Structure 1
Amino acid sequence: MAKRADGRPTVTRQVAAAISLAASAASLVVVLGALIRHPLQLVLAVLLLGSVLGAGWAALVRRGFARAAAATAGIAAAVLLGLLPGLHAYALLATAAGLVALSFAAARTALGHDLARTPRIRRAEPASAGVLLLNPLSGHGVATASRLGERARALGIRPIELHVDDDLRELAEQAVADGADMLGMAGGDGSQAVVADVARRHDLPFVCVPAGTRNHFARDLGLDRDAPAEALAAFGEAVERRVDLGVAGGRVFVNNVSLGAYAALVRAPGYREAKAATIAGCLPDLFGPDARRPLRFPGPDGDPAAAADIVLVSNGPYRLERLTGLGRRERLDLGVLGIVTVAVGRVRDVPELVAAELCGDIARFPGYRAWSTPEFAVESADPLIDVAVDGEPQRLPSPLRIGVLPGVLRVRLPPDAPGTSPAAMAPKGVRRALRALLRVLAGRSARGCPPSVPRRSVSNSGPVKGDRR
């Protein structure tokens, strides 16, 4: 149990808080000790490592003699880095990194769900004619490996498997025409968006079954992505909430629309079969000195924004610590889009970008910008814009208008599912994290409010729109 009967954290959570605080302090001691004992080596190592990163990037985004010269400089810096004396200091830094990882893991256990603000939900009756559509190719065959079709049939849910030549939207519409009173989708975000759009058009409940590769939508709904079969319980007695959907050029999305470099990469011939070779071949055109940046869009103040290499438009604002994680959303019912842009204009920007990425603080990178808006318009110097809608490559006409449909989707969740995005349970910033851990260690809620404050609001009335608190 995460809490005692009186609402206070359990002993396990208090111990986890103590471990997290101790590991964090120990990592700081290790780093300071390394700096005191090996100051010159560490400074040189940082400079050489920055040179390796900068030269490596220059080699990737240039061609011909410039590429060869940058590669030679990078190799030379790497050799000098390896020849530095006192490299055992790196072992201390590796130890510090391990202690930080331990601190984060213990903090997740210690904080539990205390910091989350779960949207309002209502109790819902079981489906009488539920239908589950399955994409057997998503996530390298997750639906097949988990025997979702068999499990659904055993629960009285009619499974419909998507074949290569089938149109998913047509299958979903036909299921509704045949009397389905609840639609579910076992697949990735792209498939989820198609069936969710059909469900919202007919005002039917929707069940998300995470059977794709990353399952961003399922994660931010608070589902266990490693247990897709457990999501089938939402066809029975469940809880229901309303969430937003994004729409780009008339196409609905549940996670994000990507424009710029990433969208161009996923459309490149051979990307699926040979990603590394394709990326290496495309980088000079996307990030090199002569790269075109045709996209134009308004910034957070409404004025034209500076050109960007990467533009992400999400259904709900991202809480983004690293670009590689592609963001997590605390809420899916705020009625706004999240906009993230990244520009890497110079070679010397790369070490700073890598440092911000490794530290999990990408917002400190000068080329990073993020804001929220109910609608977003993108224009291009080209007649068609390369986009990836929930990871699926598309070419849409310019100008492209992206908006949000607030609270239009009725999502059903199993009553015992967490129902809270992992992002909503994590504190924002080091100071808040320390205060929350100290509260748990003292036997109080991490939020600091009295134990009697309810974590989840459940209504027996009809469907409710997302809580706008």
Structure 2
Amino acid sequence: MDGERSPSPSTGRRAAAGVALLTFAGAVVVVVVVLLRHPVELPIALILLFATVAAAWSALVNRGLARLLAAAVAIVALVTVVLLPEIRSFLVISVVVGLVLASTAAARVAIGRDLAPVTGGHIALPARHGVLLMNPWSGGGKVGRFDLEDKARSIGVTPVVLQRGDDLRALAEQAVAGGADVLGMAGGDGSQALVADVASQHDVAFVCVPAGTRNHFALDLGLDRENVAAALDAFGPAVERRVDLALIGDRVFVNNASLGVYATVVQSEEYRDAKLATTAQRLPDLFGPGTDRTDFRFAKPDGSTARSADVVLVSNGAYRFTSMNGFGTRARMDEGLLGVVTVTVDSALDVPTLIAAEMAGQISRFRGYEEWTAPQLEIDSGQPLVDVGVDGEALRLPPPLRFRSLPGALRVRTPVDAPGAAPAALAPTGVVNVVRVLFRVLSGSSARSHPQRVSTRVPGQRNVDGFTDRGETP
């Protein structure tokens, strides 16, 4: 199909745009009115909240008497905010946050999928010999809950269910050696990476079935993670395209590798059962007085050498971060680049600023935040082993850690009717751009100001419109 995608928004989407603009304007009006009525008390309330967060952080990273004193300061500051006369600061903050959340939800409905990028791809023929490997323990037992084994068998796909002690890579290699032309994995991202590596090495098409806990790879491929069984349709006529993989040493990953605070905390055996308690217990060791920051050395885009960071994230493709919660999503995974993000917290006074940037969805404005892209990266350290979380798996690896992008290494298939785009690809960046897009939708125009040309023709194969390159019906 060659043409332009510029659909007019429905009445419902236009109404959602109006709601988004009105609720955002309402949040601004509330702040302005409170400032006019209480020009002194509101700033005082914000300063006290700042002090509360900074003192609470000091309590978390200290022990003994220092922890008790910091906790007392945090409590006194918080109580003072509550007792400020007339301003009712918590009510004001709650109203503003509620309006912003409502505006965000309505904006997502209004913008819809208008901004989704057109990625290269073609309609591939059904698998001749499809094999689906399954991890029955992943995602709390999603393989059994969604009856994936029987559903795979019903469409002519050979199911292989892992047993205790099985070598997943060996099973994937056996499947390819047995003639599999499409290899799938139902499990978490660590398993996805391992099987994708095998598929890549043999240039066999790969199917991702989101049967894990988070399935960030599936999300960024544009799959519906809630409808797990729908991913099996990729063994039939499916959209096939090439995406990148990434390496740390000789290990492939599909999402990211994290170093620093998070990677160290998740090494604890207690972390899975008590995440918050374990994190609180480890914070004094990581940020407390006299603690040496993790020794990381790596080149920055300006040619200088970084000597430390609290968090380092190296990803397969650049993430779009509005916050550090969930590590964001990727608009594309086909540009042959690693995404690199570092976060450095120098003192307790940085924490309120970091939290404010996180809550506002503007994490990139935090002064200790840096991001860039590169085809490769080397991270050295004086430590004999470095804690690394690779696609959610806790590892300890000897430095230097060498990262490299593998451009277009994986042939990946997704169902024709899958959503087809990651959240990062569907939303504009920056408040001004969001408002501009919402006004376009409200006026009855597409959210995209410049419609994209769509061309997915591949000679001799059916394309995404269901026609061959000669315009014949299938």
TM range (shorter): over 0.9
State the distance in 2 between where 1:448 and 1:5 align. Answer: 11
State the 1:118 CA deviation. Answer: 2.1
Q: In structure 2, give the amino acid aligned to 1:259.
A: L
Which deviates further from its counterpart, 360-369 or 178-187? 178-187
State the 1:347 CA deviation. Answer: 0.8
Partner of 2:340: 339
Q: In structure 2, give the amino acid aligned to 1:65.
A: L
State the distance in 2 between where 1:365 and 1:320 align. Answer: 12
1:46 paired with 2:46, answer yes
Partner of 2:358: 357
SS at match of 1:448: coil
Which deviates further from its counterpart, 400-409 or 7-16? 7-16
Partner of 2:303: 302
Q: Give the direction of change, closer, same or farther, for the CA distance of 1:186–1:87 in structure 2 (3 Å limit).
A: farther
Partner of 1:467: none
Q: What root-mean-square deviation, in Å, do the aligned CA atoms of Structure 1 and Structure 2 show? A: 2.0
Q: In structure 1, give the amino acid aligned to 2:53.
A: L
| Kept after mapping to 1: 8 A contact 2:6/2:448 | no
1:14 paired with 2:17, answer no
SS at match of 2:115: coil
Q: Which runs of 5+ in 2 are unaligned?
A: 464-474
State the 1:461 CA deviation. Answer: 5.4
Q: Give the direction of change, closer, same or farther, for the CA distance of 1:270–1:6 in structure 2 (3 Å limit).
A: closer
State the distance in 2 between where 1:296 and 1:161 align. Answer: 42
Structure 1 residue runs of 4+, over 6 Å off? none
Q: In structure 2, give the amino acid aligned to 1:228.
A: V
State the distance in 2 between where 1:92 and 1:82 align. Answer: 12
Which deviates further from its counterpart, 207-216 or 71-80? 71-80
Per-residue CA deviation, residues 400-450 of structure 1 (Å, 9 max, x unaligned), is 100110001000010011211111110011111122111222222211125
SS at match of 2:396: strand
Q: Give the direction of change, closer, same or farther, for the CA distance of 1:183–1:328 in structure 2 (3 Å limit).
A: same
Per-residue CA deviation, residues 192-249 of structure 1 (Å, 9 max, x unaligned), is 1001001001111100111111111111111111111111100001110100001001
SS at match of 2:340: strand
Q: In structure 1, give the amino acid aligned to 2:261.
A: A
SS at match of 1:75: helix
| Kept after mapping to 2: 8 A contact 1:127/1:236 | yes
Partner of 2:94: 94
Partner of 2:330: 329
SS at match of 1:193: helix
State the 1:93 CA deviation. Answer: 2.9
SS at match of 2:194: helix
What does 1:48-447 correspond to in 2, within 5 Å?
A: 48-86=48-86, 88-292=88-292, 293-447=294-448
State the distance in 2 between where 1:5 and 1:47 align. Answer: 49
Per-residue CA deviation, residues 25-79 of structure 1 (Å, 9 max, x unaligned), is 1221122222223333322221221111111111111122222221222222222
TM-score, normalised relative to structure 2: 0.93
Q: How many correspondences in the alignment?
A: 459
State the distance in 1 between where 2:95 and 2:68 align. Answer: 36
State the 1:324 CA deviation. Answer: 1.2
TM-score, normalised relative to structure 1: 0.94
State the distance in 1 between where 2:352 and 2:441 align. Answer: 37
Which deviates further from its counterpart, 76-85 or 384-393? 76-85
| Kept after mapping to 1: 8 A contact 2:81/2:89 | no
Per-residue CA deviation, residues 268-306 of structure 1 (Å, 9 max, x unaligned), is 232222222221221111122322321111112232024
Partner of 2:470: none
Which deviates further from its counterpart, 355-364 or 426-435? 426-435
| Kept after mapping to 2: 8 A contact 1:119/1:456 | no
Per-residue CA deviation, residues 178-204 of structure 1 (Å, 9 max, x unaligned), is 221111111111111001001001111
Q: Which runs of 5+ in 1 are unaligned?
A: 465-469
| Kept after mapping to 1: 8 A contact 2:82/2:89 | no
State the 1:82 CA deviation. Answer: 2.8
Per-residue CA deviation, residues 82-138 of structure 1 (Å, 9 max, x unaligned), is 322235343233222222222212211221222222211111011121111111222
Q: Give the direction of change, closer, same or farther, for the CA distance of 1:32–1:349 in structure 2 (3 Å limit).
A: same
SS at match of 1:39: coil
| Kept after mapping to 2: 8 A contact 1:120/1:458 | no
Q: In structure 2, give the amino acid aligned to 1:314.
A: S
State the distance in 1 between where 2:140 and 2:455 align. Answer: 35
State the distance in 2 between where 1:48 and 1:64 align. Answer: 24
